[in-house]
Structure 1
């Protein structure tokens, strides 16, 4: 099973995303994202294989030395391939891009089979709102989410690793509060 390295949010940011997930569901737009058991997040990397103990050690040392990330989500976006996915996108600041690249560098020797879309230079930072949508559901989801007042500030406070599917959280570590 593959592994994802993810950024988790503080409680208010997480609630904001969960409220969007609920609003979409209440408007007839089911999304697997809130049924698979993963918290709202931004995926930093996905690997086919990950050696857990060295990875855990690296992340446990990295997290308390690395400050929370304050993200300004300035737009909604859509991936169209291989499936339609609606997402909330943070502005890709130098801080976020460097954080992402550092994670890949840090875990390089503990992983195999990195997914190309999450590699530095390819990655589009995003928080998934709805996935596996047909065109009608995508149009409805865009209509529902069109009421989100942008920009939205999200506060990333933890880094974690999950195995999927089914989703199993392996570890998470708090980033340093400044």
Structure 2
């Protein structure tokens, strides 16, 4: 699987990481426990089985032109499916425009994952995966103490086969790690 993700400004990333740590300290599921070096707060715009040839550079150009993008977080919620605990993102017209443009570039990509498609996408930053039957009311109180604002300042792609990321906003050689 390949993704297109937006990365948070330092202040927004810190707010999300603080919520991860508050959840973990309260004994609740949390992404603070994921110690993989690629684990950081992000907003997934799209995920597909693979990028067609030439797509990555087109996505990089698109993201570089759209960023930085101001944002504000909204309430904490539990989504359906595998029941992740998330901090919803208040989407504005610029974010919806970027999301649609990314999917225009990925129109021929195999295996689009439906939860990121236009019309079904719920913009969010994940706080815990597979939250399931954990105490939702307590998690909302612990994690969502405020509604921080910030920006999305960079974009990346995650490759689930290699567990590596590539920068989608830099020009020149792609970075991984």
Bucket of the pairwise TM-score, normalised by the shorter protein: 0.7 to 0.9
Residue-by-residue CA offset, 1:112-164 (whole Å, 9 max, x unaligned): 11011100111110111112123234343223124x123x2131011110012
Q: What are the residue-to-residue correspondences of 1:39-58 with 2, within 5 Å?
A: 39-51=40-52, 54-58=54-58
Matches within 5 A, 1:87-106: 87-106=86-105
2:35 is the counterpart of 1:38: no
Structure 2 stretches lacking a partner, 5+ long: 171-177
User: In the alignment, is residue 162 of structure 1 matched against residue 158 of structure 2?
Assistant: yes
Matches within 5 A, 1:104-123: 104-109=103-108, 111-123=109-121
Contact 1:73 1:89 in 2 (8 A): yes
Structure with the bigger percentage of strand: 1
Q: Could you tell which deviates more after superposition, 120-129 or 62-71?
A: 62-71
By how many angstroms is 1:44 displaced? 0.3
| 1:104 aligned counterpart, secondary structure | helix
State the Cα distance separating 1:25 from its structure 2 match. Answer: 1.0
Q: Structure 1 stretch 165-174 or stretch 88-97: which is displaced more?
A: 165-174
Query: TM-score, normalising length from structure 2?
Result: 0.84
Q: 1:108 to 1:34 in 2, by over 3 A?
A: farther
TM-superposed deviation, 1:90 = 1.6
Instruction: Tell me the distance in 1 between the aligned counterparts of 2:95 and 2:167.
Output: 21
What is the number of equivalent residue pairs in this alignment?
Answer: 169
TM-score normalized with structure 1 length = 0.84
Does structure 2 retain, via aligned residues, the 8 Å contact 1:84–1:138?
A: no
How far the C-alpha of 1:32 sits from its partner, in A, is 4.6
Deviation at 1:67, TM superposition (A): 3.3
Aligned to 1:127: 125
Moved over 6 A (4+): none
Counterpart of 1:28 in 2: which secondary structure? coil
